[in-house]
C-alpha cells in the first residue's frame, strides 16, 4: 500500500500509465493460451465430473443417474482387474527402469572408451513412438513369426505363449516399456551425477570405503531428489499407459493386461459408447494422479527437512 | 570397477537396446515369401526393397507424411508462440491477477489428458472440429508444462535489461520481440523439440479425432496398416522404420538439445 503514495508526482503519473499498460499487455499476452487451457483442459475436467453422474450414449439425451456410475464401478470386477493390472505394471516398470538407469549412469559417468556412442544408443529409443515400439514388440513377442520364440527355439527351448498366457503377455509389455524408459532415467541421472562434489568420494576413499560402499553411501543419497523425480514421472507414465497395451495385447488374453486407460477407451469409444461410465474411470485416473502428486510433494518436503 | 568390465556391461546394454531396431531394419528388408515360409531371421537369405516399393504403390504415404509434418509443425509453432507470450507475461509483466493465473496453470499440470479424453472429444465435436487437423492440433497446444518452462526461463532474464529498454521508450511488445526472444533461443529450441516430438509420436488423440484415412497422421496410419498387413511384418516394419527416421535423424543432429530439454522438463 505504501508504494501507492510515491514522493514525486511526475513519476506517479508515469507509473500509473505503466500499470494500466502492463495490465492490458499482461492479459493480451495471456489470453490466447488461456483460451486453449479453458476450452481443452478446464471445461473438459468439469465436464468429466458432470458426465460421471450421467448416463450418456452417442444418441439421445443424457440422463442424471446420481452415483450409479460409481456404484457400478465399485461392483465391476473388470475395473478392479484393470486397476490391479495397472498397479502391477507400475510396480514392475518403475523401480526397474529407475534402477537400471542409475546403474548405467554410474558406469558411464567416468571416462570410458566410446562413452558417447553408448549414451546415444541407450537414449535413442526415447524418440521412437509408442506405436512403433508396440509394433516392434509384436514382431518380438508375436506367437507366429515372433523373434523371441525363434531365439528360444534356436537355443533348444519350447516356444513361449507370449500372447495367450496372461503373465507372459504382461512381461512382454513391461519389457518393451523398459526399452523406451531406461535411457531417460540414465540421462537424467548423468546430469545429476555432475553435481555430486568430488570431495565426497575422496573423503569416502580416505575412510577406506569400497566402490560398492561409495555407491550406497555417497552416490545414492546425493541423487535422492533426482530419484524421487524419476519415480514420480515414471509412475505417472505407467498409470497412463495406452499405446503398447492397445496394440500389443489389446488388454488380453481376456482382461489379463487391460489397464485403466485402455478400459476407459474401450467403454467410451468402443461399440457401446458409454461416455458416462468411461468418464467415471477417467475421474478415478485423475484422482489417483492427484494423490500421487500430493505424496510426491510431501516426500520432497520431508526430504528437504531431513537434509 | 575395472574398465574392461564396465565396457562389457555397457556393450551388453547397448546391444539389448539396438537389437529391436536391428530386427525392425532386417525384417523390413526380408521378402514376404521368406517371412511366411520360415519366419523372421536375424540374417535373411535374401534382401529386398519390395516391402518399401509395395507400400508406396498401395498406400498414400506422401499424404500421411505431409499430414504428420503439418500437424506437428502447426502444433509446435502455435504452442511455442502462446507459451512464450504467457511465460513473458507471468515472469516479467506486473498485472493484477497474475499469481492467480499462474496457480491455475500449475493446477492443470496434474490433469492427465487421458482422464478427460471423452469430454475433450465432445468439446472438439461441439466446436465442429471432429475429423479435422484442428481437432488434433488445438488440444495438444494447450500445455501447462510449456508455460511453466517458459516462465521459469524468463524469470532469469535480468530486469535491468528490460528497464533500460523501457527508459529508451520501448513498450512490452518491443521488449519481448527485441530483447527477450533473442535471449530465449535455448528455451525455444528445447520447447520446439519437445512439442514436435510429442505431436509426431502421439497416437491416442489422433486415433480418436481423425476418421478419414487420407488425413491420418503416421502413428494412426501405422495402426491402420497393421490391420491391412496382418502377419506381413515386412511391410509393417518398413513403414515403422520410415515413420521413425525423421526423429532419429533430428535426435542424432540435435542430441544436446534433446538431453537438455528432457532433463529440464523433469528437473524443475
Q: Is B251's CB within 8 Å of A127's CB?
A: yes
The minimal CB distance from A285 to the residues B112, B204, B240 is found for: B112
- Taking the C-alpha atoms of residue B180 and residue B89, their distance in angstroms, rounded to an integer, is 11
Q: Is A136's CB within 8 Å of B23's CB?
A: yes
Mean pLDDT of the B104-130 span: 88
Beta bridge partners of residue A55, listed in sequence order: A63
Mean pLDDT of the B11-21 span: 92
Res. A306: pLDDT tops 70: no
Question: Regarding the domain delimited by A77-306, which CATH topology (the fold level of the hierarchy) does it fall under?
Answer: MetI-like fold (1.10.3720)
Mean pLDDT of the A162-184 span: 93
Q: Is B90's CB within 8 Å of A30's CB?
A: yes
Residues of B in contact with A290 (CB under 8 A): 110
The three-state DSSP-derived secondary structure of B30-87 is CCHHHHHHHCCCCCCCCCCCHHHHHHHHHCCHHHHHHHHHHHHHHHHHHHHHHHHHHH
Nearest to B34 by CA among B24, B25, B43, B44: B44
pLDDT grade for B228, boundaries at 50, 70 and 90: confident
Q: Is B110's CB within 8 Å of A107's CB?
A: no
pLDDT score at A272: 80
Which residues fall within 8 angstroms of residue B213, CB to CB, at 6 or more apart? B60, B221, B224
Residues of B in contact with A230 (CB under 8 A): 266
Which tops the pLDDT comparison, A269 or B260?
A269
Q: Is B95's CB within 8 Å of A120's CB?
A: no
Q: Alpha helix locations (H) across chain A?
A: 9-37, 43-52, 68-74, 77-109, 115-123, 130-141, 147-154, 166-193, 198-206, 211-214, 220-222, 224-239, 243-244, 260-269, 275-306
Q: Using alpha carbons only, how large is chain A's radius of gyration in Å?
A: 26
Q: Is B118's CB within 8 Å of A113's CB?
A: no
What residue ranges define each of the domains in chain B, with the CATH number in brackets?
Answer: 22-58+230-268 (no CATH), 71-214 (1.10.3720.10)
Q: Is B112's CB within 8 Å of A240's CB?
A: yes
Task: State the best of B14, B118, B150 to mutate against chain A, taking most chain A CBs within 10 Å.
Answer: B118
Q: Is B237's CB within 8 Å of A42's CB?
A: no
Mean pLDDT of the B22-34 span: 87
Nearest to B131 by CA among B240, B250, B40, B214: B214
Other beta carbons within 10 angstroms of residue A25's beta carbon come to: 22
pLDDT score at A303: 58
Alpha carbon of A89 to those of A77, A135, A232, B16: distances in Å? 18, 19, 15, 21
The minimal CB distance from B226 to the residues A128, A130, A135 is found for: A135
pLDDT grade for B21, boundaries at 50, 70 and 90: very high
Give the length of chain A: 307
Q: Is A208 helix (H, G, I), strand (E, B) or coil?
A: coil
pLDDT grade for A14, boundaries at 50, 70 and 90: low
Query: Least CA distance to A20: which residue of chain B?
Result: B95
- Taking the C-alpha atoms of residue B163 and residue B158, their distance in angstroms, rounded to an integer, is 9
pLDDT score at A45: 92
Residues of A in contact with B222 (CB under 8 A): 131-132, 135
- Taking the C-alpha atoms of residue B116 and residue A43, their distance in angstroms, rounded to an integer, is 10
pLDDT grade for A11, boundaries at 50, 70 and 90: very low
pLDDT score at A60: 67
- pLDDT tens by residue, A217-246: 889 998 988 888 888 888 888 988 999 999
Which residues fall within 8 angstroms of residue A65, CB to CB, at 6 or more apart? A53, A54, A55, A276
- Taking the C-alpha atoms of residue B113 and residue A244, their distance in angstroms, rounded to an integer, is 17
Query: Least CA distance to A101: which residue of chain B?
Result: B13
pLDDT score at A305: 43
Task: State the best of A15, A96, A116, A132 to mutate against chain B, taking most chain B CBs within 10 Å.
Answer: A132
Mean pLDDT of the B118-142 span: 92
The minimal CB distance from B201 to the residues A29, A130, A239 is found for: A130
The minimal CB distance from A30 to the residues B86, B173, B200 is found for: B86
Mean pLDDT of the B226-248 span: 88
The minimal CB distance from A30 to the residues B101, B141, B226 is found for: B101
Q: Is B217 helix (H, G, I), strand (E, B) or coil?
A: coil
| Residue labelled with grid coordinates 524468463 | B154
* Cβ–Cβ < 8 Å for A122, B14: yes
pLDDT score at A2: 42
Which tops the pLDDT comparison, A14 or B20?
B20
Per the structure block, which three cell numbers stand in for B262?
A: 528432457
| CA distance to partner chain B, nearest, from residue A153 (Å) | 12
The minimal CB distance from A140 to the residues B20, B93, B138 is found for: B20
pLDDT score at A59: 67
Q: Is A64 helix (H, G, I), strand (E, B) or coil?
A: strand
- Taking the C-alpha atoms of residue B85 and residue A31, their distance in angstroms, rounded to an integer, is 9
Q: Is B7's CB within 8 Å of A112's CB?
A: yes
Res. A35: pLDDT tops 60: yes
pLDDT score at A58: 66
Residues of A in contact with B96 (CB under 8 A): 23
Q: Is B116's CB within 8 Å of A122's CB?
A: no
- Taking the C-alpha atoms of residue B132 and residue A132, their distance in angstroms, rounded to an integer, is 24
Task: Pick the most confident of A57-66, A297-306, B194-203.
Answer: B194-203
Q: Is B114's CB within 8 Å of A282's CB?
A: yes
- Taking the C-alpha atoms of residue A141 and residue A120, their distance in angstroms, rounded to an integer, is 25
pLDDT grade for B268, boundaries at 50, 70 and 90: very low
pLDDT mean across residues, chain B: 87
Phi, psi of A64 (to 5 degrees): -75, 130
Nearest to B202 by CA among A129, A249, A224, A73: A129
Q: In chain A, what are the domain boundaries?
A: 2-49, 77-306
Query: Least CA distance to B119: which residue of chain A?
Result: A44
Query: Least CA distance to A111: which residue of chain B?
Result: B3
Which tops the pLDDT comparison, B46 or B36?
B46
Burial of B70 (0-12, 13-18, 19+ CB in 10 A): middle
Per the structure block, which three cell numbers stand in for A179?
A: 526399452
Which residues fall within 8 angstroms of residue B256, CB to CB, at 6 or more apart? none
Phi, psi of A65 (to 5 degrees): -130, 20
Q: Is A129's CB within 8 Å of B258's CB?
A: no
Query: Least CA distance to B110: which residue of chain A?
Result: A290
Residues of B in contact with A264 (CB under 8 A): 114-115, 117-118
Residues of B in contact with A242 (CB under 8 A): 114, 203-204
Q: Is A21's CB within 8 Å of B203's CB?
A: no
Per the structure block, which three cell numbers stand in for A257?
A: 493386461
Counting one residue from A and one from B, how many pairs have CB atoms under 8 Å apart? 279
Mean pLDDT of the B177-184 span: 88
pTM for this predicted structure: 0.88
pLDDT grade for A12, boundaries at 50, 70 and 90: very low
Amino acid at each position: 500500500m505504501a508504494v501507492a503514495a510515491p514522493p514525486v508526482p511526475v513519476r506517479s503519473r508515469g507509473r500509473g500509465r505503466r500499470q494500466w499498460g502492463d495490465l492490458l499487455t499482461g492479459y493480451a499476452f495471456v489470453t490466447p493460451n488461456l483460451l486453449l487451457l479453458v476450452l481443452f483442459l478446464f471445461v473438459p475436467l468439469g465436464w468429466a465430473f458432470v458426465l460421471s453422474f450421467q448416463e450418456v450414449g452417442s444418441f439421445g439425451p443424457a440422463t442424471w443417474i446420481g452415483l450409479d456410475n460409481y456404484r457400478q464401478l465399485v461392483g465391476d470386477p473388470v475395473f478392479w482387474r484393470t486397476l490391479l493390472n495397472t498397479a502391477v505394471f507400475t510396480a514392475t516398470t518403475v523401480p526397474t527402469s529407475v534402477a537400471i538407469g542409475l546403474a548405467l549412469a554410474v558406469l558411464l559417468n567416468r571416462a570410458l572408451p566410446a562413452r558417447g556412442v553408448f549414451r546415444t544408443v541407450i537414449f535413442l529409443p526415447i524418440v521412437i513412438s509408442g506405436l512403433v515400439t508396440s509394433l516392434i514388440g509384436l514382431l518380438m513377442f508375436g506367437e507366429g513369426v515372433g523373434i523371441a520364440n525363434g531365439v528360444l527355439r534356436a537355443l533348444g527351448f519350447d516356444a513361449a505363449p507370449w500372447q495367450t498366457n496372461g503373465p507372459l503377455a504382461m512381461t512382454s509389455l513391461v519389457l518393451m516399456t523398459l526399452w523406451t524408459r531406461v535411457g531417460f532415467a540414465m540421462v537424467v541421472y548423468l546430469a545429476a551425477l555432475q553435481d555430486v562434489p568430488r570431495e565426497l568420494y575422496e573423503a569416502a576413499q580416505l575412510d577406506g570405503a569400497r566402490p560398492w560402499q561409495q555407491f550406497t553411501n555417497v552416490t545414492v543419497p546425493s541423487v535422492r531428489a533426482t530419484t524421487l523425480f524419476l519415480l514420480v514421472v515414471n509412475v505417472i507414465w505407467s498409470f497412463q499407459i495406452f499405446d503398447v497395451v492397445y496394440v500389443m495385447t489389446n488388454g488380453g488374453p481376456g482382461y489379463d493386461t487391460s489397464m485403466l486407460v485402455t478400459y476407459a477407451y474401450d467403454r467410451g469409444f468402443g461399440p457401446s459408447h458409454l461416455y458416462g461410465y468411461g468418464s467415471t474411470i477417467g475421474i478415478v485416473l485423475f484422482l489417483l494422479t492427484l494423490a500421487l502428486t500430493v505424496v510426491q510433494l510431501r516426500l520432497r518436503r520431508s526430504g528437504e527437512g531431513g537434509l | 570397477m575395472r574398465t574392461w568390465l564396465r565396457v562389457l556391461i555397457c556393450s551388453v546394454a547397448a546391444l539389448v537396446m539396438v537389437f529391436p531396431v536391428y530386427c525392425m531394419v532386417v525384417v523390413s528388408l526380408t521378402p514376404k515369401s521368406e517371412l511366411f515360409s520360415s519366419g523372421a531371421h536375424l540374417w535373411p537369405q535374401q534382401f529386398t526393397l519390395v516391402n518399401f516399393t509395395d507400400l508406396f504403390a498401395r498406400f498414400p504415404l506422401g499424404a500421411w507424411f505431409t499430414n504428420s509434418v503439418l500437424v506437428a509443425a502447426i502444433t509446435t509453432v502455435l504452442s511455442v508462440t502462446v507459451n512464450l507470450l504467457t511465460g513473458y507475461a507471468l515472469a516479467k509483466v506486473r498485472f493484477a491477477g497474475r499469481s492467480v493465473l499462474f496457480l491455475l496453470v500449475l493446477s492443470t499440470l496434474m490433469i492427465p489428458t487421458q482422464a478427460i479424453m471423452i469430454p475433450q472429444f465432445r468439446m472438439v465435436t461441439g466446436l465442429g472440429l471432429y475429423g479435422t487437423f484442428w481437432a488434433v492440433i488445438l488440444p495438444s497446444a494447450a500445455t501447462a508444462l510449456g508455460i511453466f518452462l517458459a516462465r521459469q526461463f524468463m524469470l532469469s532474464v535480468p530486469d535491468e535489461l528490460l528497464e533500460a529498454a523501457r527508459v529508451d521508450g520501448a513498450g512490452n511488445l518491443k521488449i519481448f520481440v527485441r530483447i527477450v526472444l533473442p535471449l530465449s533461443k535455448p528455451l525455444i529450441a528445447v520447447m520446439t523439440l519437445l512439442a514436435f516430438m510429442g505431436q509426431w509420436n502421439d497416437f491416442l488423440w489422433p486415433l480418436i479425432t481423425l476418421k478419414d484415412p487420407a488425413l491420418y497422421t503416421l502413428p494412426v496410419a501405422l495402426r491402420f496398416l497393421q490391420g491391412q498387413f496382418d502377419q506381413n511384418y515386412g511391410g509393417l516394419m518398413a513403414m515403422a522404420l520410415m515413420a521413425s527416421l525423421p526423429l532419429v535423424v533430428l535426435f542424432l543432429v540435435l542430441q544436446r538439445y534433446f538431453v537438455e530439454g528432457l532433463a529440464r522438463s523433469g528437473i524443475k
